[in-house]
Amino acid sequence: MRIIDKTPLTNEDGSISFINRIKGTLQYGFSWYPDLQAQQKAIDIIDKQLGKKFTLIRNHVLENSKIIVPITLIGPPGIQVIFVTHVQGSYRAKNDAWGTVSGGNFKDASINLLKRAHQLGKVVEIYLKKKSFEFPKGVEPILLSVNPALHISSVRPIVRIVLSDAVERFASSLAQEPPVMSVEAVHEITEEIINPRPPKAKVPESQSPEENMGEIDFAFDESAPAKPAPQIRRKVPVSAQKPSSDYLGMTPKQLVVIGVMGLIVICLLVLFILGILFFA
């Protein structure tokens, strides 16, 4: 299987330094590094089952949008967008609802992984259709886990769920599915995602390519209404623009996190020195 890794903040050998781990956590959230570790485990399993006709693209940004797609798997049987999660515990997936059950009561999770996986598949499909690609099966969204400590009770979920004991079987089944597109089409779609071509149709002067890709960003917004009302875009005068709230290239939230981590390091150093003085 061909693997194209676009993960940010990685070294040439694919490793992530301690400093870059902190940067990634501040930029992408606390689940960023655990999710990367889970991704790598899933990729290692899938890679053993799929041949050279398949291509896996990891953590790529859709052109000028702000959306990072965790895993896009492209092969003759079709296209799968895979969201790999590191979470553990007991969850319930019913239609588009995702949460835990305690004492017979269902509680929504803070992040709906079903909707997240579904939206990732949707935006990739919209993106490829904008690039004039047609595929009979569409893009299949998948929520995948390699953590045996995750248990999911599912009732007609909106995405396909693959748990740790079924990852190998899932990959093996893909290798045996009948093809719906040629190997040449796989390479063409891969190239369009990695090195997108300029749009064939001329983009109106009032709408830049970034604004056009913003439609995909909107489709991924969980809080956005289904049918947004048309808006008139206006340029904000420079004098009226809101001043940046960043300090030294970081937001106040990031500075607070760094400050807390700094205090923890200082406390550990003080305890270490005290231990040397009193127990030496």
Spell out the per-residue pLDDT of the chain, length 280, in tens.
999 999 988 888 888 888 888 888 888 888 889 999 999 999 999 999 999 999 999 999 988 888 999 999 999 999 999 999 999 999 999 999 999 987 778 899 999 999 999 999 999 999 999 888 887 788 999 999 999 999 999 999 999 999 999 999 999 999 999 999 999 999 999 999 998 876 655 445 445 444 455 555 545 555 444 333 333 333 333 333 444 444 544 556 666 767 777 788 888 888 877 777 777 5
pTM above 0.85, yes or no: no
- Structure tokens given for 243: 């001043």
Closest by Cα among 183, 195, 159, 188 to 62: 195
